[in-house]
Every structure is written in structure tokens, then in C-alpha cells.
Structure 1
Amino acid sequence: MAKVLSPSKMAHVVLRTGQFDKMREFYKAFLGGQASYENDFISFITYDDEHHRIALISVPGTGPKIRTSAGLEHIAFTYESLADLTLAYQQRKALGIEPVWCVNHGPTTSIYYQDPDGNQLETQVDNFDTVEEATAFMTGPFFGENAIGTDFDPEELIRRLQAGEDEKLLKKRVEIGPRGLPSEIF
């Protein structure tokens, strides 16, 4: 059987919520976005050239997220540079949106957040210039030993960036040996 034709891109994610007003204000702030359309039960939010990237639907009877249930783990958003990633971190922090986890996975440097419903959001920057370089790291011994990554302090990362350290060097993962899933996140 032939391989299925792959899509050209991922267009959007739709989230069901019982906290519609809190969620739509959160996502507009988190993404620096705006609603391309919304009413009292649906909101289509965009921040780029797509008409919407996140849609929120208020569904009566929607209960709170159960962290241990199967389903979507997180949604990831990519930035062009470490400077952009940390600037967005600082802007979110000024709005009271604090990260729940900061980790250099190896292929990416990532800052995770949680929305009002408990859905996780990853903001990231690619650590390699090409997909081939990232794949080579992911098939190498360090990633095999630790596919989760090494935690970092975003404030220290900002200090180092502002001191003029090279972004490429700052994105290189510090190797810590074997690591499993952190229980406070998963």
C-alpha cells in the first residue's frame, strides 16, 4: 500500500472548555493574538497569516481536565531565535503568565506553560539549523540516554544572552545522564 499523502501544514487546534471567558483572554494574551471571529460560545484566535490557529468552544457540562487521562499532552509554538523565545517569556511573565517547566530537550530549548483548563503549551526554539542535524542528535547516544532533556533557569539564560554569549552555544544541551519523565509535569 502506498503512503498517504501528507498535509501541507497543521492548521489549527480546537479546545473544548467550561471556562470560555478565561480561556479566550488567556490565549489572546499568551499568543499576542486576536480573535478573527468570536461570539458568546466560540472564538477563533490567530496570531499570524492563518485565519485561526486556536479555536475555543464553550460546551455546557464540560468538566475539569483530568491530568492522568489519555489525550493531547501539549501544543507547541516555535520562535525564530532564543532572543525571541526569552522576550516572549518576559512579556508573558509581566502579564502574570509563568512557566511550569523550562527544559533543553536537545533538539529544542523549550518553555512550557499551562492554560486555565490545565492544557500544556510549549514555546520553543530549534537548537539546530537543519532537520538533519536535529535528527542526527536524536539518533545519537546522548538523546538515547536522556530523551527528556536538561532543565534550565530562564532568568539565568536571559542574563547570559544579555551578556553577549553566543546563542548557538547557549542552545547546546548540558548533558546530565539518564532521566525519566518529571512527575510534576507528566
Structure 2
Amino acid sequence: MTVVDLDSPGDTVIRPATLAHVFLRTNKFDEMVAFYKKFLNAEARFESSRIAFLCFDEEHHRIAISAMPGTSEKMPSSAGLEHIAFGFNSLQDLALAYRQRKKLGMEPTWCVNHGITMSIYYKDPDGNHLETQVDLFDNNGDATDFMLSDEFKRNPIGTDFDPEEFVRRLQSGEDLASIKKRPEIGTRGTPAHLLNKH
């Protein structure tokens, strides 16, 4: 075991090893728990009538949901967390999850090639945004280089796509590099649906 001098901690904070979980308070407890079980194919590691700890991997929990007294409806225009992102390993996995969710009646709210990720967004019953994504670069260095590029500076939001067209392109055998490449549309401001207050 490495001995750490806790009396001389240094001038910067040690970085976390991981982002461990997200905790959501709700006034729609049963609906939210059912949604996340379905959306993530998650299981409850613990569940009562007021709190649930859900997971989709080896971690003890990734999403905690609690029915907290006095919780009001979410205000979309207030400051706070904008979305939670869930990563997939391949474009095929992203497309398969999209089709599986569609079969379960879960339709995306926005599909966009950000340039660094191909992303399909949804909303949970409380109105929280959920991003499902695939990294488009093989390493983080190349992704960072793209984020420093003129293309990304002009359009840090991305280019929208039709998810069914995305599926068709994959099924056609089109080269994955071609599918990953973001069509450049020039300068883009904040999409109108992200400014929607409802």
C-alpha cells in the first residue's frame, strides 16, 4: 500500500477514478423505476416502495431513484443537469438499442452526429434528457483534436440525422467511416427543441 502524506495534500484535488452513479428524485416513482428498468434493461439491486438502486453492469448501482416528499414537477427552463449519457461500443449496438426501444414504444427526441459521438436522445417520465451514444474516434486524442478544430468551433452542436436512415446505411454495408463522418452544415446555434420550455 502506498503511504500518502495527508498532512501535505498539495494544491490540486485528486481526480476521481470513475463517475459512479446518478441519483434522481421524483414524484413519479413507480413510472420512473419501470422506465429505467426497460430503457437500460436494468435490474434492481435493491428496491422498496420509496427507493430503487438500478444497475446494468457489474457496479452495485448506476441509477438511484427516490420518491422524496415535497418533490415538485421538473422545470425544464431551470438551471441543473441537462442530460445523462450512456455509451455503447459500436454503431450497430446503438442502432439495435434504438430499434429495441422503438419496439417497446420508446421514441427518440433528437438524433445528432456531434462529430465526436453519434447520439440518440430520449426523455424519461420526469422530462430528464438521456443520451445514448457511440464515440466516433478510436482514441480520445483524435476526439480532442476534432474538438479543437475550426469545424467544431463553427458547430459544437452537430448535424441531425434520421435514425431510420442511419439503420438503412448500416444494413446496406456502407463503410463505417463514411457513416461516422459528420456532414458539415456550417454555423449552428442552440436547436429550438432545447430551448423549448414545455
Could you say whether these structures have the same fold, taking a TM-score greater than 0.5 normalized by the shorter chain as the test?
Answer: yes
Match of 1:79 among 88, 91, 101: 88
For normalisation by structure 1, the TM-score amounts to 0.98
Residue matched to 2:47: 38
Cα distance between partner residues in 2 of 1:111 and 1:26: 17
> How many residues align structurally?
186
The runs of 4+ residues in structure 1 deviating greater than 2 Å are none
Cα distance between partner residues in 2 of 1:168 and 1:58: 44
1:59-92 superposed Cα distances (whole Å, 9 cap, x missing partner): 1221111000000000000000000001000011
Residue matched to 1:62: 71
Give the RMSD, CA atoms, in angstroms.
Answer: 0.8
Confirm whether residue 152 of structure 1 aligns to residue 161 of structure 2: yes
Structure whose CA Rg is larger: 2
Cα distance between partner residues in 2 of 1:127 and 1:112: 16
Residue matched to 1:119: 128
Residue matched to 2:23: 14
Residue matched to 2:182: 173
Q: CA offset at residue 171 of structure 1?
A: 0.9
Q: CA offset at residue 185 of structure 1?
A: 2.2
1:23-61 superposed Cα distances (whole Å, 9 cap, x missing partner): 000000000111000000000000001110000000122
Q: CA offset at residue 6 of structure 1?
A: 0.4
Of all paired residues, the percent bearing the same amino acid is 59
Q: In structure 1, list runs of 5 or more residues that go unmatched.
A: none
Residue matched to 2:115: 106
Task: Report the AA paired with residue 190 of structure 2.
Answer: L
Confirm whether residue 128 of structure 1 aligns to residue 137 of structure 2: yes
* 3-state SS of 1:136 partner: helix
Task: Report the AA paired with residue 153 of structure 1.
Answer: D
Cα distance between partner residues in 1 of 2:101 and 2:21: 22
